[in-house]
Structure 1
Amino acid sequence: MSKYYIAFFLPLILSFSFTPLAKKIAYKVGAIDVPKDERRVHKVPIPRLGGIAIYLATIISMIALLNLDRSVISILIGGSIIAITGIVDDIKPMSAKLKLVLQVVAAAVLILGDVKIEAITNPFDKQHGLLHLGSFAIPITIFWVVGITNTLNLIDGLDGLSAGVSAIAALSFLFITYGSVTGEASIIIMSAIIAGAAFGFLPFNFNPAKIFMGDTGALFLGYMLSVIAIEGAMKSVATIAIVTPILALGLPIFDTTFAILRRLIDKKPIMEADRGHLHHRLLDKGLSQRQTVLVLYIISVILGASAIVIAKVNPGSGILIISFLAVLAIISMTRFGIVNSRKNHRSK
C-alpha cells in the first residue's frame, strides 16, 4: 500500500511547489485571462498557465514510479503533445481545427503504444463476455480520447471546478481498478498520480483563484483521465465496463452532451461558447461560486461512487442504477434549464 500513498503525495507536493513558478511564467509570457465577456465569472485578470504545474508533477511522478514500457512511453508522449498544445493556446489562442488535429495525433500516439479500446464487456452474453471491436477499435479510441480531453476543458468555468472534478474522477478510477480482480498496479498508481497532481494545484485554484489551469491543465487532465479509463476501467471491470468510466466522468460528459443538444435546438454552431452550462445555471439560481462548485463536487462524488458500486454488482442491478441516474439527470437538467435553453434566454 505504501507505493500508492507515495503515488498520491509525491505529485501533490510537486504540483503545490510548481504552481507559484507557473504563475510567474504566466505573467512573464502574458498568459493572462482577462474577463471580457459575460461567460467569465471572475472580475480581475488571472494568470492561466497553472496546468504546467499539473503536467510536470504528473510526468515526473510517472517516470519515477512506473516501469517505462511501450504503453507508458506512449502516454507520456501523447500527454506532452496535449500539454504543449495547451501552453501555446494559453499564450496565443490557436484555431479549433489545429487543436483538434493535435489531439487526434496525441490519440494516435496512444494507439501506437497499444493503448486502445479493443473490446467492451457484454453483460447480456455470459458465455463470451466481450464484444470485440475489431477495425472499429481505432476510430472509437480516437473519439473517446478526443471527446474526454475536451469535456474537462468545457466545464472549466469556475474556480476549482475542473481540478476538483478531475481529482474525484481519478480517485473513482483508483477504487474501481483496486477493487477489481484483474486490477493493475500501474493503473492504480497512475490514478493516484492524477488525483494528487490535481489536489496539489487546488489550493491556488479554489475560489478566490490565484491562478487558472488554462487549456494546459484542463486538456491534459482530460487526456490522462481518458487514458486511465481505457487502461483501467474498460479492461478490468467484469460487468458493464463501458458504463463505469462514463459515470466516473459523468459531470463533464453529461454537461457537454446537453451543451451539444442545447446548441442544436437553438440552431447554433456546436463549438460556439455560451452561458448555458450547468455551473452557469446554478449561479443564475443565486448560488455563489463556492456553493456552485461544492454542489458539483457532490454530484461528481455521487456519480463516482455509483461507478464503483456498479463495478461490483451483477448486470441487472447495474442497469437499474444506471436507469435511475439517467432519469434523475434528465429531471435535473430540465429543472435547471440546461436543455430548454431558448426559453431561458428569452426570459433574461
Structure 2
Amino acid sequence: MTIIIIFTIALFFAGAGTPLVRRAAIRSGFIAIPKADRAHTEPTALMGGLAIYTAAISAMLVLLAFSWVTGNVFRFGEFVSILLAGTVMSAVGLYDDRRALPAPVKLLAQFVPVIIVFTAGVQVQLNFFPNATANLVLNFVLTTFWILYITNAVNYLDNADGTAIMTSATASGIFLLIAVINGQQLVSTMAAAVLGASLGFARYNLPLPKSTIFMGDSGSLFLGFLLAVLGIKIRIPGNTNYITW
C-alpha cells in the first residue's frame, strides 16, 4: 500500500506540476534554443527537471514522515543524505541549464553529492584488501565512478525527446520489482517515487507529436543520480551482505 501511495503522489505532482513549470519557463525565458547537436527544431521550455524534482522529493518526504511516525526508519542518515545530495545535483543541473557551466566545473560540482552520500554510508562496499584504509579508498573510487557514470549517462541520453525519461522509468520499474521481491521497503518506495515522477512527466516530454517541455540537466542529473543510488542499494536476490533496507 505504501508503494502505491508514494507512486501516486509522485505521478500526480509531476503530471499536475509540469504544465505550471512550463508556463513559468516560457514567461522567464528559460527556453532551449535549437542547436546542431539537439533533435528539436523549435524553441522549447527548459525547466521540466523542476517538476520531476518536486514530484520525487515530495513523495520521498511523505515516505520519510510516514516511516518516522510508524517507527519504521532504517538508516535514517542515509535516506536524508540521498534527499540532500539529490537536491544539490538538481541545483547544479538547473544552474547549468541557465548559465552553461564549463564541463570541468560541472563535473567537479557533481562530486559534492557523491561525498554527501558516501559519508552517510551509501557506497559500494567491497573488502578486497586486509587493510581497512585501502578498502575505504577503493570503495570511494568505485562509488564515485558509478554515480558519476550513471548520472552523466542519463544526462547524455537527454538529447532526444523522451529517451532519458523513459529510460529512467524503465530502470526504476526494474529496481522496484527487484526490491519488492527482496522485501526492501525503502528501496522499493524510493524506486516508486522515481517511477511515478518519470511517468508523470513523460506525457509532456514524449514526441507525440512533439515534446512540449524538456527536463534539462536539472532533471537528467537528478534522475541519473537517484538511479545510481538505487543501483548501489538494491540487493541482488540471494545476496544479503551489507544491504538491509
Q: How many residues align?
A: 224
Contact 1:30 1:91 in 2 (8 A): no
Partners of 2:28 and 2:15 lie apart in 1 by 21
Residues 47, 211 of structure 1: 8 Å contact kept: yes
Give the counterpart letter for 1:21 in structure 2.
L
- Tell me whether 1:22 sits opposite 2:21 in the alignment: yes
Match in the other structure for 2:39? 41
76, 81, 100: which one aligns with 1:93: 100
Q: Secondary structure at the match of 1:119?
A: coil
SS of aligned partner of 1:53: helix
The within-5 A match list for 1:134-153 is 134-153=136-155
- Deviations along 1:278-300, one digit per CA (max 9) or x if unpaired, are xxxxxxxxxxxxxxxxxxxxxxx
* Post-superposition offset of 1:28: 3.1
Which residue of 109, 117, 127 maps to 1:110? 117
Q: Unpaired runs of 5+ in structure 1?
A: 123-131, 242-348
In structure 1, C-alpha distance between the alignment counterparts of 2:89 and 2:9, rounded to whole Å:
22
Which residue matches 1:237? Answer: 237
**Cα deviation, residue 177, structure 1:** 1.7
Cα deviation 1:216-235 (Å, max 9, x = unaligned): 11110000000011111xx4
Query: Counterpart of 1:12 in structure 2: which amino acid?
Result: L
SS of the equivalent of 1:47 reads strand
Give, as a single letter, the amino acid of the residue that structure 2 aligns with 1:205: N
| AA aligned opposite 2:158 | D
- The equivalent residue for 2:52 is 54
Q: Does 1:219 align with 2:217?
A: no
How far, CA to CA, are the matches of 2:226 and 2:35 in structure 1?
30
Does structure 2 conserve the Cα–Cα contact (< 8 Å) formed by 1:33 and 1:46?
A: yes
* Correspondence for 2:192: 192
Letter in 1 for 2:51: A
> How high is the sequence identity, in percent, across the aligned residues?
33
Distance apart, 1:135 and its partner CA: 3.1
Give CA-to-partner distance per residue, 1:113-157, whole Å, 9 cap, x none. Answer: 11101139x9xxxxxxxxx95431111101111111100011112
Shift of 1:112: 1.4
**Alpha-carbon contact 1:26-1:49 (below 8 Å) kept:** yes
User: If the length of structure 2 is used for normalisation, what is the TM-score?
Assistant: 0.86
Q: Aligned letter for 1:93? A: A
Mapped pair 1:83 → 2:90 = yes
Higher mean C-alpha displacement, 108-117 vs 134-143: 134-143
- 1:1-348 mapped onto 2 (5 Å cutoff): 2-37=1-36, 39-66=37-64, 67=67, 69-119=76-126, 133-180=135-182, 183-207=183-207, 208-232=210-234, 235-238=235-238
RMSD across aligned C-alpha pairs, in angstroms? 1.9
Cα distance in 2 for residues equivalent to 1:36 and 1:192: 34
Aligned equivalents of 1:133 and 1:16: distance in 2?
Answer: 44
CA contact (8 A) 2:14 2:197 kept: yes
TM-score for both structures, normalised by structure 1: 0.61
Matched position secondary structure for 2:25: helix
Conservation of the 8 A alpha-carbon contact between 2:6 and 2:62: no
Quote the residue 2:72 is aligned against: none
SS of 1:115's equivalent in the other structure is coil
Cα distance between partner residues in 1 of 2:39 and 2:184: 41
Question: Is contact 2:97–2:216 with CA below 8 Å preserved after alignment?
Answer: yes
SS at structure 2 position matched to 1:158: coil
| Contact kept? 2:7, 2:59, Cα under 8 Å | no
User: CA shift at 1:24, angstroms?
Assistant: 2.1
Contact 2:93 2:219 in 1 (8 A): yes
Q: Which has the higher contact order (CA 8 A, sep 6+)?
A: 2
State the match for 1:343 in structure 2.
none
The 3-state SS of whatever aligns with 1:118 is coil
